[in-house]
Structures are given as structure tokens and as C-alpha cells.
Amino acid sequence: MPRVARPAHSRSSRSSTSPDMPRRWRRVPAGLSFATDGPLMLDARVLRQETDDVVARLARRGFAFDRERFDALESERKSLQVQTETLQAERNTESKKIGKAKAAGEDIQPLIAAVGELGERLDGAKARLNEIADELDAFLAGIPNLPDDDVPVGESEDDNVEMHAVGDIPSFAFEARDHVDLGAGLAGMDFEAAAKLTGARFVTMSGPVARLHRALAQFMLDLHTREHGYTEVQVPFIVHADSLFGTGQLPKFAEDLFKLEGDAPWYLIPTAEVPVTNLVRDRILERDELPLKMVAHTPCFRSEAGSAGRDTRGLIRQHQFEKVELVQIVPAGESERALEELTGHAETVLDALGLPYRRLALCTGDMGFSAAKTYDLEVWLPGQGRYREISSCSNTRDFQARRMQARTRSAEGKPEPVHTLNGSGLAVGRTLVAVLENYQCENGDVIVPEVLRPYMGGIVRIEAQV
RNA sequence: GGAGAGGUGGCCGAGUGGUCGAAGGCGCACGCCUGGAAAGCGUGUAGGCGGGAAACCGUCUCCAGGGUUCGAAUCCCUGUCUCUCCGCCA
């Protein structure tokens, strides 16, 4: 991207930019351009040349694209950019003349005067271009990804489409307890203790329950690395705002994140998707490096702002939880296949644990900001008598890749964005909930699923204590 | 945390404020040569953006941001990262 020295008088507008904005974005400058390195999600050319289509597709997911504003900003940007570059070209050639004249021992004073005037005009043009570029950047950064054509159109989760359901919903000869009661009975889960330590939406676990939680994560990691070809990665749980911008959590969803104090724009990760996917930021990957398949087990931190009153009981919705995350980086054109594969990998975990679940295709209105297509996996929870989300698998196509400049080469050798996918495989805490509730006995004991027993020292049953 | 040294193209590595997007080397690609290969020789080999049907042209990028200047890879300031030494620490 062009890096033009930002004229001093434009600093005020730039410095008013939110400190939460990624450094890369603030840096943009200047912008002689806003695409690719700017906060762009959609292909700039596609947006410009096929605006009607883009607007229509965004409307399907309930996003109102301000066509008039875009057209106005874009046309102004274009004329200013041409004007600025023309002036720069002039200045460059004139300045070179000075160099030559000086070398030839000629008088360069008249030349310097002429170029000086040019420079002032150039500064003015740059300043106006920067302002427009800033506006355009902010405008474009808030536009979500385009939904795939086969994504069901809808407004809310009520419009999601069930693809299939696997496993029989268990029927108990007694009244099923929920995981909170079970956890208490096993003396392994204490919400009050966590509330004392920190506050609401935290939990402490102990004994066999804590071990079961660990066993689940180990099992998932082993399954994905041994059977599904993923490479285990260990990543920071604190990331720079730039990374959050790359995957699309910023600038729009800062209120969902925990931000650290201090000068650095650092945040606790809301999902391993952020650090893992950003591993390929600013890289041009060789074709034979792809696909990249990575799995990471990390804690996740979410402020759950705006979730007051929702799922207040139990560990369904916590500020901190653990997750085993799958990420794939693939060449364009392979991501549709990869989404099916990755979702299948997540389902394998549920199959192995013998938990009943179903797969939903999220509708346009329920998908996340960065997703082009998303499958949610929902597990059956006897304690609630309903399915609950336990995994979300998304294809973001080139949306994240463009924001983070992650590329590979086309057959012609030209750089082109990769496609990125991510999905939970699975959310460990919620899987624990599902295991406890689905494997409960009438007396409050919980049977350990067979595949987990090697991770539990052979324990078959966790016995109720109280 | 303290002190010092440094961040240049895929890699290594030059670069007196002007003709430097940047010598040279390595790697890579293509070609010549060869029965084939190696060696040798030749040519090419960053990215973004804008304009253009294209050829191509323009512009920007030598860690980042700011400054000085007609002109900055080169000078100044700040930040950041890496390395070495000291301190601290799991």
C-alpha cells in the first residue's frame, strides 16, 4: 500500500481515531488506497464494479449498505487520488531536474522555487485525500462478509435449517438433573466459590470432574492430530488489536472483548481462531504449504456484554471457558469442501463421545460478521431438554485473508488471498455439560464415556458424594 | 528493569541526501550448451494501489509513525521488534 507522509494538519482527524483500532488501520494513511491493507473485507474491485450485486447480497443478511454514501466517497477518492498522484509525478520529475542541474553546476534557485509551489499544492491534495480515505476506511471496515448463495435467508436463529440429527435422544426412567446439580452432587463444580474469587459467570472444578474436563480437551486434541491431520499449535492468549482486526472482531465488536490495561492495545482472546488464523497474516504462502490445518486448545474470554440474564445458571455462558479450535487455511476454491470436512471433524468428537446432536445451517441473519457460511452443531442436553450450541464452523472465504493480507499464489504466480475456516472441535466446557447430563445415573453418578477412560486412569464411573 | 548493537527484496548483503525499487551473491524460473546430467553461459525474478480492453503507464513501499529538505533507504525525534551483557523471574 502506498505510504504517503501524512501532512501535519491531518493529524488531528487521525488521532481522533479510536485507540481500539488496529495499528495497521490507523497507519493506513494515507491513503492513497484503502483496499487490501486497509480495513477492507470485500474485494475492492468487486465492490466497485458489481455494487448492485453486493448490495443485494448484503441485504440478505440484513445489512443496509449505504449506496449513496459509498458512491460519493468513492468518486471523490478516485479524483483526489488521480490528482495527488499526478502532482507527485510532477514533483518527482522536477526534483530530479534539480539534481541534474546541480550536478551540472547550473543555477538551481529558480527550479527550487517552482517545485516549492508544487509541494504546497501536493500537501493540500494529500490532506483532502487522507480525510476521504479515512472516511472510506471506517465505512468499509463495518461491512460484513457476503453470504454464500446456498445460505438460507432468514432473520434470526428461528430461521436456521436443520441438516441432520445424529444419535437417539436419551429417555431417563427418572427426572434428569442438569449439570449444575450433578456437578454439585459429585462435589466437583462450585459456582459460589468462583463468584467469591471473581464474580458471576465463573466456575471452579475439582476432583474427577476437573479431570474429566481435562480429559475431554486431551481427547479432542489427540483425535484431531492423529486422525484428522491437524498440527497442534500453542499460541498466546493475549493478542494485539491488529490480530482482532484481521479476523473481524474489531472494530465492530470491542464490547465483547476483555481489553488489558496499559499502553499496548492488548486483548484476551475470545477464541483461538484469532491467534491461530493470524499466524498467516502478512504472508504469501507457497502453494505446497497448503492446506494448513491447525488445532489449538486455549482458554477463551468473553465479556458477554449484553447477555445479562441469559444462561445465568451453570457453565453454558461463562466469561472464561476452554475450547479446542480447528483452523484451516486453504487455496481459494477449496474452502467449500474444507468446510464440510472441518464440520465433519467436529462431529466426529460428538460421535465418539456418543452424544446426540444435530447440525444446523445458520441463516443469513444469524451468521457472524466474518462468515460466508456457517454450520452450528448443537448437542442434546437432558437437563434443559433441548439442543444447545457446542460448535460453530465457518468458512470466511477470503474475508479474513484480505483483512490480514494472507495470500498464496495463483496458477499464474500472482498473489491472491487464501481462504480461511475455523470451527470449534469442541467447546470443552459445554461438552463437559453434555457428558455429565447424558451419562447421568439415577443416583447422581456419571458414567465415563469409553473413549475418555484412558484419560481418566481407567475410571468407569464418577460417584456422587452428596 | 538497566546498558549496548541492529532491523534493506524469498535468503545473504552493499548502499557519499539526488539519475536507488535499490549493487553483488544465493535461491528460483526459462533458454543455450550436453547423448543425459553437472558445470558453464544468457535472460528474467517484490508487493500494494490507481488508470487502461491490453500492452503499458503513474504512484507508494528499504521495521512503524512523525520531522528536516525542492528531494530521504541515507539526517533528526519517537515507538516497536530482534540480538548480546547485567538484573529479576516460572
pLDDT band at residue A167, thresholds of 50, 70 and 90?
Answer: very high
Find, among A166, A124, A154, the residue nearest to A59 by Cα.
Answer: A154
Give distance CA A128 / C1' B68 (Å). 23
A405 closest-nt by C1' vs CA: B48
Distance A264 CA to B4 C1' (A): 25
Tally the C-alpha atoms within 13 A of residue A213's C-alpha that lie toward its C-beta: 23
C-alpha span between A381 and A433 (Å, rounded): 8
Element (H, E) at A432: helix A428-438
Task: Name residues whose C-beta falls within 8 Å of residue A11's C-beta, 6 or more positions apart in sequence.
Answer: none
The whole-angstrom separation of Cα A380 and Cα A176 is 12
pLDDT digits over A417-439, tens only? 899 999 999 999 999 999 999 99
CA of A438 to C1' of B65 (A): 57
Helix (H), strand (E) at residue A462: strand A461-462
Active site residue A61: no
The residue from A392, A402, A403, A437 that is catalytic is: A392
For residue A12, is pLDDT > 90?
Answer: no
Which is nearest to A436 in space by CA: A169, A185, A171? A185
**Catalytic residue at A402?**
no
CA distance A64 to A61: 9
Q: What is the pLDDT of residue A296?
A: 96
Give the phi and the psi of residue A164 in degrees, each rounded to 5: -165, 160
What is the SS3 assignment for A429? helix
The grid coordinates listed for A454 are 484412558
Element (H, E) at A243: helix A241-247
pLDDT tens-digit map of A25-41? 322 222 222 233 333 45
User: Would residue A389 show up in a list of annotated catalytic residues for this protein?
Assistant: yes
Whether A458 and A440 have beta carbons less than 8 Å apart is answered as: no
pLDDT score, position A286? 80
Higher pLDDT pick, A264 / A158: A158
β-strands A283-285, A406-409: how paired?
parallel
Task: Please name the residues in contact with A27: beta carbons below 8 A apart, sequence gap of 6 or more.
Answer: A3
- CA pair distance A133, A29, nearest whole angstrom: 8
